[in-house]
Every structure is written in structure tokens, then in C-alpha cells.
Structure 1
Amino acid sequence: MASSGITSKGLGWLAIIRIGLVQASIGAMVMLTTTVLNRLMVVEYALAAAIPAGLVGWHYAVQLCRPLWGHGSDKGGSRAVWVLGGIVVLGLGAIMAVQTTVMMSGSFALAMAVGVIAYTLIGVGVGASGTSALALLASGVAPERRAAAAAVTWIMMVTGIVVSAITVGALLQPYSPERLLTVATGLLMTCVAITALAVFRLEPRGGIQANSFAQTAKDGPTPSFGEALREILHEKAARRFTIFIFVSMMAFNMQDLILEPFAGLVFGMTPGQSTQLGGMQSGGVLAGMIVAGIGGSAFAGRMPIELRHWIVFGCLGSALALAGLSVAAIAGPGWPLAPNVFALGFCNGLFAVAAIGAMMGLAGSGRKTREGVRMGVWGAAQAIAFGLGGLIGAVGVDAARRALASDGSAFQLIFAIEAGLFVLAAALAIRATSAGAQPAHQEKRSLDTAGEGEVFA
């Protein structure tokens, strides 16, 4: 079984890197649909920001079914099949989304009809592939490696976003609909091929049931979906962690759909330049993840106080960076926009790695539920937050532009609200990780069973 990367300690580092390649492919494909196409609709096709935001929000709404897909991968014989199938569906949806953008200059009603179908497929593809990939990681990695493995795969995902954003941004200059279709097709075909190679013989023969770590703390048959969901919702640690993820991810995504339009409307950047600016932010996220992973507790995962420091510092740093963008919205050209955006991404990466390490620990701590359902629940919470955040940011900008009659003032208001959400997320993180937040006699488990996620109890 050497080809699968399985060792006596579960998934080896080669297998973890292969799962990271899957995450990188997902990130690259989603980057195309949520940033590049969003900017083109708002700036080049002069549509209200709420239109692409609504389509992106719909793909997040579809991901509310993540727990069901996770439960399906728990019961199925192979998570790799779910991963590859989801990537193929994601690719089909993404190329339809590109066609939707090109059609906006013609029949708007037809374009929107195609767009709804496209973003439905994107939501199904992201949910099925992403949930199954993370469940495979949580179930196949030994407890002491979970936080490090999570950090490695998410760093690779951000790397995929950065590389694809910079490459697509360069290839789109000068912009034309024909060039967009060519570049997008090449990117999507490459991502599907990488995923197919990454998951080939990744799992041991016999699927997830042959993996010795898939049955941690739960040796019986897979529970029903309803039973699994009830168990998760009754855990105080899981509930508090979910609330923190919801608020922080909403804050994180409020700027996602408006950053490139902001660069185009306020700073006069071209499509290629604004795409590269998005890559600069993702580069900051990557740097923050590396710094937190090496210098913090994400790889060791033993000290609650260290996790709290990284999460709170990342959230407050993100709030400060957004305050800088608020100033930039009024200052306009001349403001150091690229360093400001990089700083925002860097602080996002700091809190993300600590949160991901805790998530991986909690994913394997259920008494009966398997990792697929648990990752699905947190994925669904994140999807709701992402969808609401992006929609609120875009609709808020549209409303503020009409009310204030100033692009700069409109963006300033939204960035300030987002900064406030990050401050709230920092407060929630302190509550979630504070010592004594839960009496010791409640939900008592050994560290060997609970893993690093117990710091959120």
C-alpha cells in the first residue's frame, strides 16, 4: 500500500500532500468564479454588485447539504470517489459560469437562467469534494498529526489560489471574452487532471473502513443522519466553535466580492491588475498560515492559551487592516493598497490555522458520529457565513453607493462594518477557549480520545 501513502500512523505526509493538491484545485476553480467573474460582471458589464453576489450566495446556499454528502461518504466504500466526482461537477459548473458572464451582454434573462444552474453545480461540486477530502484527512491522520496536516493542506489550497490568480490575471491581459473562455477552460481541465492523479489509489484497499483511524471512538455501525446530527448539536464544544467559525467567516468573506470592484472603481485598476491584487491577499493568507503553523501551537495543539493568542491576534489584526482599507477608500490612488491587502490576508491566515487545527481535533472526537458528518456540519456553517457575508457586502455597497453618491464612502462603510465583525469574532474566540468555560465533570473525555479540539470545551 505504499502507493497510497498509508503508514502505520495512518496517512503519511505524501498522502497528506496529495489531499492538499485536491484542496488547491478546489481553491483555484472557486477563485475563478467568485473573484474574476464577479469583477467582470460589476465593472466590464456594469451590473449591480448584488447580481454576482446573489449567484455566489446561491452556491453557498446549496452547500447547506454538506452534512448529507458527508454522511454519504461515511457510509460509502470510498471517499476518493466523492472527491473526484465533486471536482468534475465543479468544473462543469465553472465553465457554465464563464459562459454566463459572456452572455450578460446579450440576453440577460437567459444568462441568469444558465447562471443559476451553473452556480448550483458549483455548490454541489465544492460541497461533495471539499467535505469528503477533509473527512478523509480527519479519519486517516493519526490524532497527533491532525493539526499539522490541516495546516499543510490549507496552505496548499491558498497556494493554489495565489498561483492561479496571478496566472489568470496575467493571461487575461488584454481582456476579451474569447481569451476568458480559453484561459478558464485550460485552468479547469488542469485542476480536474491534478485531482484525478492525486486521489488515484490514495485510500487503502477496502475504502475508509480499512483505515484504522476511521473508527476512533466509534466502533459500531455508522449512525443514521438524524442521530449523528443530534449528537453534534448537543456538544457544547462543537456549538461554541461553530458560532466562532460563523462570525469570523462572515467577516472574512464580506470583502471577497467587493475587493476587486473596489480596486477597479476607486483605484482604476484593470481586470488583470485587480485579479493580481486578489492574489496578493491570498499570498498574505499563505504567509500568515506558515508563520502561525511554525511559530504557534497549531502543529503541537496542546496549549489552549496559545491557540487563543493566535486566533485573537489574527482577528484583531484583520480588523486593523480593514480600518486601513476604510481610509484607502477615501484617500484613493496613492494609498499603499497592495501592502494593506497583503496585511489583511496575513492576519486572516493567522487565525485560520489555529481554527483549522481545532476543527480537525473536534472532527475525530465524536462518540458515534464519523468525520464526514461533522466536517459537513462545520462546512455548512461556513457556507452560510460565506454566502451571507458576500451578499451583505455586495448589497451593502450597492445601497451605500446610491445613498451616499460616492463610491469611496460606500466602500469605507462596508469595510468598517467588517472590521467590527472581526472584533466580535475575537471576543467569541476568547469565550470559546477560556479556561473553565465548561465544568470538568461535563462531557469528560481522555485527551487521547478528544484530541486538540477539546480546548474549545
Structure 2
Amino acid sequence: MMFGWLSIVRLGMVQMALGSVVVLTTSTLNRLMIVELALPAVLPGALVALHYGVQITRPNWGFLSDSGGHRTRWIVGGVATLAAGALLAAAAIPVLQTAMAVGLLLSILAYALIGFGVGASGTSLLALLATGTHPDRRAAAAMITWLMMIFGIAATAGIVGALLDPYSPARLLRIVAGTCGAAFALTVLATWRIERGLTPRPAPEPMPFREGMAEVWAEPRARAFTGFVFLSMTAYFMQELILEPYAGLVFAFTPGQSTTLSGAQNGGVFLGMLLVGISATALKLGALRDWVIAGCTGSGLSLMAIAALGQTGTGLLVPASVMLGFFNGMFTVAAIGAMMALAGEGREAREGTRMGLWGAAQAIAAGFGGLAGAAAVDALRHGLATESAFGLVFTAEAVLFFAAALMAARIMDGPRRAPATGGKAHV
């Protein structure tokens, strides 16, 4: 007994709820701190980094969901914690204006709650997908859940942007409360009795977290895949903070044109995800490893093209960015599908712990990659021309993607071994 398509879509609704709340804290509240409150940009940047940092606890959440069973309770509890953190973060905005120290303490607590909530719910959600999705449907499941998350982010950003004018702290709090309430209600409805039809899981042997984590870390493939996740995600996030400044400083893009560039890149991500989900599931074209390798290699080539365009002054930045998004989307869906497959390998009833380990690697890489890319550009611009500084960083990012492709070729199963990736107990 495994998930049908309706159950997969229901879990995608949870991912959509997660994205709709997180985007409030990483975009709307970020802008309010910098523009309306005139605070240094480093403050919201540090708070967002904090929310990534506390997600190093993801293995703990995965281990708890493995040990206690009923992953939905951890999903619902995590979304409740996330919603509480988002409400507190919104409430801290006017406090920052009148009592900076108190507002800062409230914000630190809020963003820590946000990180814990995302870690608990996101890790348990992926573990549930891994244990309940048939191997043939994993690429499509990854595509569905991530596209729904992107939709939730885009829809929430658009609706909140329209409702927030004219801005007032009270209006902000009402909007955030409404969004969080809707996200929590959607999560409860989407997960209601969703585990009831699954094949019962064997109870794991009771043991402390350290021992359970040590067992997973001792598995060569789990350990190698952790390195792959960190390497590829560092490459993925290095361009996040520098592509739009690159467009403005080197290609003289206006703020509106830079926003359009970002939208075009996300359109490419959507198409790449759609291609892998349909090809790998409906058309049975290629193993997930092949799509991961193609996505990483294509991302690296696109970044080298973006770097070269700055040196030549050729005005093809938008199509090159679309191609980068396309291969990023291809890589993302295939890597998540492979992650679901690998989560079922090794010792039984440890899917959540493995997902947590890889989620922690992703979160650390997201924070490290973004900061490393921005810091490297700042440092290089002191001694090099602007286009050369950006070009070197994009090239370094491309090298990381090529290294990730080589690593994927070594540690992931090819077509001949594909049936073994289904896991032993639950898929």
C-alpha cells in the first residue's frame, strides 16, 4: 500500500503552505526592515541566516519521526511552530522601531522558531514521501511538491503585496495572521489520516539519537550523498545574491529589468522541473542519476556562459539565465527523487534520519553558498574589474557544479541498478 497521485498532491499542498509562510519572512519582512525601518541590510540577512543555521537540527527531527512513527504529527507541529515564529517576526517589526533591543530579541526568537518549524515539518514531509511513494513515481512526486511550493511562494507574494498597501503594522499583522492560519488549516486538512493506508512500518530499535545518527553516518552511500548535497547546494545558492547585481553593474539593467530577469530564471526552473517529472515518470526516459548529471553539467555550462557574457558585453544575459534556471530545475527534481530513493537504503526505519542529515547539509550550504558568493565578489572587486570579479565567482560556481556531476556519477545508481533504489521496507 503506497501513495496514489491524490495523496502526493495532498502532501504538495503542505509544501505549498510551507513556502507561503516562509516567503513572508524572507521577502516582505526583509524589505520592511531595510526600507521602512531604514535598518542595515545585514540585520535581516543575519536573521535569515539564523533560520538556516538552526536547521542543523533536521537530523534530530527526522530521528524523532522515525522513532515515534506517525510523521504527520511532526509535520503539523512543525507548521504550527513555523506559523508562531512568523507571527512573532511580524509583531517584532513595530517594536524594532521603538525599542531596538527588545525588537531584536523578539526577532531572534522568531527566526529561530521559523527554522525549527521548517526543519521539523520539511524533514518529516520528505521522509513520508520517501516511505510512501513508489519508486516509479518519485520524480513526479518531487516535481509536484516543488512546483506547488513555487506556486505558494508566488501567489502569497503577489496577494500580500497587493493587500499590504497602504502599509501599517496592524495591517501587516492581520495579513500574516491570516496567511499563517490558512497555511496551518491547509496542512491539517492535507495530512488528515494520510498515513492510514500505508503499509505498517517496522518499529525501529530504541536507541539514543547519537547512536541512531552514528548508524546512518556509518553507511557509505548516506555519507557520500551528504557530501554531494552540500557541494551541489553550495553551487546552487552562490549566484542567488549576485546575479541581479551583476545585471545592474555590468549590463546596466534597471531594477525593473533585474526583477524581470529573476522571473525569467524562475520560469526556466519551472520548465526544467516539468521536463524531468514528465520524462522520468510518464515516459520512463533516463535514470534519475542521468538527470542529476545533466542538470549539474548544464548548470555549470550556463554559468560559464553568463561569466563570458560579461567579458564580451554581449546582451544575452536573459536567455543565459533562463538556461541556468532550466538546468537548476532539472537538477533539483532529479536530486530530490534520488534522495527519496536513497532514504530507503541501509538500516530500516531510518528514512527520516537520512532525510534530516541531507536537509541539514542543504540548509548549511544555502547559507554558506549565498554569503560566500557575495563575499567573494566584494573581495575580488578591490583588485579586478567588476565584470572580471563576477566572472571568476560564476566560473568557480560552475566548477563546483561539474564536481557535483562527477560525484553523482560515482555514488548514484544507474539504469542497471535502478530497482535496488526502491528501499527494502516501505517503497
Whether TM-score is above 0.5 comes out as: yes
Q: Determine helix, strand or coil for the equivalent of 1:10.
A: coil
Q: Deviations over 1:227-262 (max 9, x none)?
A: 322222122222222211111111112233455666
Does the Cα contact within 8 Å between 2:275 and 2:330 map onto a contact in 1?
yes
The answer for the alignment partner of 2:323 in structure 1 is 343
The answer for the alignment partner of 1:246 in structure 2 is 230
The answer for the alignment partner of 1:88 in structure 2 is 80
The CA distance in 1 between the partners of 2:96 and 2:195, in whole Å, is: 43
1:140-159 to structure 2, matched below 5 A, reads: 140-159=132-151
Match of 2:359 among 379, 391, 394: 379
Asked whether 1:354 is paired with 2:334, we answer: yes
The answer for the alignment partner of 1:255 in structure 2 is 239
Does the Cα contact within 8 Å between 1:23 and 1:153 map onto a contact in 2?
yes
Q: Determine helix, strand or coil for the equivalent of 2:255.
A: coil
Superposed displacement of residue 263, structure 1:
6.7
Paired amino acid for 2:237:
N
Asked whether 1:391 is paired with 2:383, we answer: no
Superposed displacement of residue 298, structure 1:
5.9
Asked whether 1:22 is paired with 2:14, we answer: yes
Does the Cα contact within 8 Å between 2:413 and 2:421 map onto a contact in 1?
no
Asked whether 1:190 is paired with 2:182, we answer: yes
Superposed displacement of residue 160, structure 1:
2.4
Superposed displacement of residue 69, structure 1:
1.0
Q: Deviations over 1:370-428 (max 9, x none)?
A: 22112111111111111211232344455556x36987766555444333322222232
Q: Deviations over 1:190-236 (max 9, x none)?
A: 322321221223221xxxxx841533xxx654554233222221222
Paired amino acid for 2:274:
I
Superposed displacement of residue 344, structure 1:
2.3
Does the Cα contact within 8 Å between 1:49 and 1:398 map onto a contact in 2?
no
Paired amino acid for 2:408:
A
Asked whether 1:363 is paired with 2:343, we answer: yes
Paired amino acid for 1:451:
T
Asked whether 1:432 is paired with 2:411, we answer: yes
1:5-16 to structure 2, matched below 5 A, reads: 9-16=1-8
1:260-271 to structure 2, matched below 5 A, reads: 267-269=253-255
Match of 1:59 among 42, 51, 69: 51
Paired amino acid for 1:351:
F
Match of 1:285 among 269, 280, 287: 269
Match of 1:123 among 95, 107, 115: 115
The answer for the alignment partner of 2:421 in structure 1 is 451
The CA distance in 1 between the partners of 2:186 and 2:35, in whole Å, is: 32
Match of 1:418 among 397, 408, 422: 397
Paired amino acid for 1:130:
G
Does the Cα contact within 8 Å between 1:23 and 1:157 map onto a contact in 2?
yes
Q: Determine helix, strand or coil for the equivalent of 2:239.
A: coil
Does the Cα contact within 8 Å between 1:293 and 1:353 map onto a contact in 2?
yes
Q: Deviations over 1:93-118 (max 9, x none)?
A: 22333455666666554443332212
Please report the RMSD computed on the Cα atoms of aligned residues, expressed in angstroms. 3.8
Does the Cα contact within 8 Å between 2:293 and 2:331 map onto a contact in 1?
yes
222 and 286 in structure 1: CA distance in 2 versus 1, 3 angstrom threshold: farther
The CA distance in 2 between the partners of 1:366 and 1:405, in whole Å, is: 49
Identify unmatched segments of 5+ residues in structure 1.
1-8, 205-209, 441-445
The answer for the alignment partner of 2:217 in structure 1 is 233
289 and 233 in structure 1: CA distance in 2 versus 1, 3 angstrom threshold: same
Q: Deviations over 1:418-454 (max 9, x none)?
A: 333222222322333487xxxx9xxxxx976x42579
189 and 11 in structure 1: CA distance in 2 versus 1, 3 angstrom threshold: same
Paired amino acid for 1:428:
M
Does the Cα contact within 8 Å between 1:19 and 1:199 map onto a contact in 2?
yes
Alignment length (residue pairs): 422
The answer for the alignment partner of 1:214 in structure 2 is 201
Does the Cα contact within 8 Å between 2:291 and 2:331 map onto a contact in 1?
yes
The CA distance in 2 between the partners of 1:358 and 1:222, in whole Å, is: 28
The CA distance in 1 between the partners of 2:104 and 2:209, in whole Å, is: 34
Does the Cα contact within 8 Å between 1:71 and 1:225 map onto a contact in 2?
yes
Does the Cα contact within 8 Å between 1:60 and 1:383 map onto a contact in 2?
yes
Does the Cα contact within 8 Å between 2:139 and 2:276 map onto a contact in 1?
no
Does the Cα contact within 8 Å between 1:49 and 1:395 map onto a contact in 2?
no
The CA distance in 1 between the partners of 2:308 and 2:161, in whole Å, is: 26
The CA distance in 2 between the partners of 1:447 and 1:276, in whole Å, is: 40
Segment of structure 1 superposing worse, 148-157 or 254-263: 254-263
Superposed displacement of residue 187, structure 1:
3.4
The answer for the alignment partner of 1:311 in structure 2 is 292
1:66-105 to structure 2, matched below 5 A, reads: 66-100=58-92
